[in-house]
Amino acid sequence: MKDFRAELIKTIPPSGIRAFFDLVIGMKDVVSLGVGEPDFVTPWHICESAIFSIEKGMTSYTSNLGLLELRHAIADYLLRMFSVKYDPKQELIITVGASEAMDIAFRAVLNPGDEVIILEPSYVAYAPLVTLAGGVPVNISLIHGDELVVDFEKIESKITNKTKAIFINYPNNPTGKSFRKDELVRFALLAEKHDLLVVSDEIYGELTYDYDHICFSSLPGMKERTILISGFSKAFAMTGWRIGYAAAPHDVIEAMMKIHQYAMLCAPISGQIAAIAALERGNKDVKAMKKEYKRRRNIIVEGFNKLNLYCANPEGAFYVFPSIKRLPFSSEEFCIKLLNEEKVAVVPGTAFGSTGEGFIRCAYAASIENIKEALRRIKDFLQRHDAL
Ligand X SMILES: Cc1ncc(COP(=O)(O)O)c(C=O)c1O
Q: Which residues bind ligand X (CB under 6 A)?
A: 36, 97-99, 123, 169, 173, 201, 203, 231, 233, 239, 244
Cβ nearer to ligand X, comparing 231 with 249: 231
Q: To the nearest whole angstrom, how small is the minimum distance from the Cβ of residue 1 to ligand X?
A: 35
| Least Cβ distance, residue 170 to ligand X (angstroms) | 9
Smallest distance, Å, CB 94 to ligand X? Answer: 11
Strand ranges inside the chain, DSSP E: 31-32, 92-96, 115-120, 136-141, 143-144, 147-148, 163-169, 197-201, 226-231, 243-247, 319-320, 344-345, 347-348, 360-363
Amino acid identity at 79: L
* Nearer of residues 20 and 381 to ligand X, judged by Cβ: 20
Whole-angstrom distance between the N-terminal and C-terminal Cα of the chain?
A: 56
CA distance 219 to 71: 22
Instruction: Report CA-CA distances (Å) from 254 to 91, 165, 246.
Output: 9, 18, 11
Distance CA 217, CA 227 (A): 8
Q: Nearest residue by C-beta to ligand X? A: 97
Asked if 86 and 92 touch (Cβ cutoff 8 Å), the reply is yes
Q: Is the dihedral of CA 348, 352, 353, 356 positive or negative?
A: negative
**Integer CA distances (angstroms), 351 to 197, 335, 347, 354, in order:** 26, 11, 7, 8
- SS3 of 38-63: CCCCCCHHHHHHHHHHHHCCCCCCCC
358 — alpha (psi -120 to 50), left (phi > 0) or beta? left
Which is nearer to ligand X, 188 or 203 (by Cβ)?
A: 203
Q: What angle do CA 210, 102, 48 make, to 5 degrees?
A: 70
CB-wise, 97 or 268, nearer to ligand X?
A: 97
The C-alpha atoms of residue 165 and residue 144 are separated, in whole angstroms, by 24
Residue 294 CA to residue 275 CA, distance in Å, equals 24
Q: Which residues pair with 323 in a beta bridge?
A: 359
**CA–CA separation, 103 and 134 (whole Å):** 11
Q: Indicate the residue among 71 and 382 with the shorter CB distance to ligand X.
A: 71
Residue 17 to residue 23: CA distance in whole angstroms? 10
- CA-CA distance, 347 to 336, in Å (whole number)? 9
